[in-house]
Amino acid sequence: MSLTSFPGGGSSSTGIPITKVTMPALAEMKRQGKPISALTAYDYATSRLVDEAGIDMILVGDSLAMVVMGHDNTLAVTVDEMLHHTRAVRRAVRRALVVGDMPFGSYHGTVAQGVANAVRFVKEAGAEAVKIEGPRAELVEALTEAEVPVVAHLGLTPQSVNRMGGYRVQARTVDAVLRLKADAHALADAGAGALVLEGVPREVAASITAELPIPTVGIGAGPDCDGQILVFHDLVNMTFAPPAKFVRRYADAATLFRSAVEHYREDVERRAFPSDQESYHLSAPVRKALGIESDDEEMDTLVNKDALPDF
Ligand code: KIV
């Protein structure tokens, strides 16, 4: 493959060269003490915005089952649905590392099935890594062997909601902390490139982050992780539910979108949209031939504007 055709090539709209974020680049950021920014995204438009805003890692999270598809939890989303969204994100992203989230059931059988499904994310959707939940060192080793970089995920793992009996902060007892630490080390030893730590006490995340050679990316795990990730819809208030303690709302898209849509509906109802300027017009000779009355001069200005491309 020619280096000039490498997808990370090119430059931004400001002419600054884009340096593609890769899994080894995340490890280098940890070494340099540079915080890793990560967000979920699920479609072309938001992924473009997230990428252009300089976020390092975009996770096409199975949280899309809830925030995009309206399910009560993440369990129902399928591999094909995840691939569909991952492809859309892939088309939008030039710089960030694109990680596909393997959905419930797609890696819970044999290791061979897990590897086969993970390969689909890379081959059919352009993911540069996959994320899997839970202490699955054997699978991580097999994926690494198969050249599929892995982001592991421990702590509150939403695909275990039925076993956990709800979404609860994890690792609050000495035994549970020691187990979580042992699992984290096993995943790093098996070849995981990064570890998402979700819903664990700050002290636990800090100590795992200090011990592990790979970057930790926290969500509800305090500020001492190597990076932070949030669900995009939480960040911009598009979830229709009170936010969890760890969420910071950076914008109120729900209010902005609702007001724009209400304004549009009102304009349609009072026939204020579209205006004459927002309409296409016939030329003077065609109007004349059809016997359509009009103020020629004003109309011709509008027709001339129509000489521009229609859309
Ligand atoms: O699916 C998801 O959005 C996630 C993040 C919360 C880490 O797994």
Cβ neighbour number for residue 19 with a 10 Å cutoff: 10
Output b/e per residue, 116-132; b: 16+ Cβ within 10 A.
ebbbbbbeebbbbbbbb
Output b/e per residue, 181-193; b: 16+ Cβ within 10 A.
bebbebbbebbbb
**Closest listed residue to residue 229, CA positions, set 61, 28, 23, 107:** 61
Atom 4, ligand 1: residue with shortest CA distance: 61
Per-residue pLDDT, averaged over 174-187, amounts to: 98
Torsion angle of the four alpha carbons 71, 76, 82, 83, in this order, in degrees rounded to the nearest 10: -140
The pLDDT tens digits for 206-225 are 999 999 999 999 999 999 99
- Residue 250 C-alpha to ligand 1 middle, in angstroms? 18
State the DSSP H helix or E strand holding residue 217, giving kind and residue range, or none if neither.
strand 216-219
Query: Do the bridges between strand 97-101 and strand 57-60 make them parallel or antiparallel, or are there none, so unpaired?
Result: parallel
- Residue 63 C-alpha to ligand 1 middle, in angstroms? 6
φ/ψ of 5, rounded to 5, equals -100, 10
Tell me the whole-structure pTM to 2 decimals. 0.92
Lowest mean pLDDT among 179-188, 283-292, 295-304: 295-304
The pLDDT tens digits for 24-54 are 999 999 999 999 999 999 999 999 999 999 9
For residue 63, the ligand 1 atom closest to its alpha carbon is: 1
DSSP notation for 117-152: HHHHHHHHH--SEEEEESS-HHHHHHHHHTT--EEE
**Closest listed residue to residue 62, CA positions, set 23, 108, 110, 28:** 108
Using a 6 Å cutoff on CB, does residue 219 contact ligand 1?
Answer: yes
* Site to substitute for ligand 1 among 42, 151, 196, most atoms within 8 A of C-beta: 196
Any alpha helices (H) in the chain, and if so which ranges? 23-32, 44-52, 64-67, 79-92, 111-125, 137-145, 161-164, 174-190, 202-211, 232-235, 253-269, 284-290, 296-305
State the Cα angle at 20 between 66 and 27, rounded to 5°.
80
Sign of the C-alpha dihedral computed for residues 261, 263, 268 and 274 taken in this order: negative
Active site residues: 198
Cβ neighbour number for residue 238 with a 10 Å cutoff: 18
For residue 131, the ligand 1 atom closest to its alpha carbon is: 8
Tokens 């959905």, located at residue: 103
So what's the pLDDT on residue 294?
75
DSSP state of 29: H
Structure tokens at 203: 């002290």
Lowest mean pLDDT among 103-117, 145-159, 261-275, 296-310: 296-310
- Residue 232 C-alpha to ligand 1 middle, in angstroms? 10
Using a 6 Å cutoff on CB, does residue 65 contact ligand 1?
Answer: no
Q: Is the pLDDT of residue 13 over 70?
A: no
- Residue 39 C-alpha to ligand 1 middle, in angstroms? 9
Using a 6 Å cutoff on CB, does residue 196 contact ligand 1?
Answer: yes
99 forms beta bridges with 59, 129
So what's the pLDDT on residue 207?
98
Cα 300 to Cα 185, 276, 284, 291, 305, distances in angstroms:
74, 12, 7, 16, 9
For residue 196, the ligand 1 atom closest to its alpha carbon is: 7
Q: Is the pLDDT of residue 5 over 70?
A: no
Per-residue pLDDT, averaged over 288-301, amounts to: 78
Atom 1, ligand 1: residue with shortest CA distance: 61
For residue 230, the ligand 1 atom closest to its alpha carbon is: 6
Residues in the chain: 311
So what's the pLDDT on residue 310?
59
Query: At how many degrees (to 10) do helices 79-92 and 44-52 cross?
Result: 50
The pLDDT tens digits for 79-114 are 999 999 999 999 999 999 999 999 999 999 999 999
* Site to substitute for ligand 1 among 36, 37, 39, 40, most atoms within 8 A of C-beta: 40
Atom 8, ligand 1: residue with shortest CA distance: 61
- Residue 59 C-alpha to ligand 1 middle, in angstroms? 7
Judge whether 64 and 86 are in contact, CB under 8 Å: no
pLDDT class for 307, splitting at 50, 70, 90? Answer: low
pLDDT class for 57, splitting at 50, 70, 90? Answer: very high
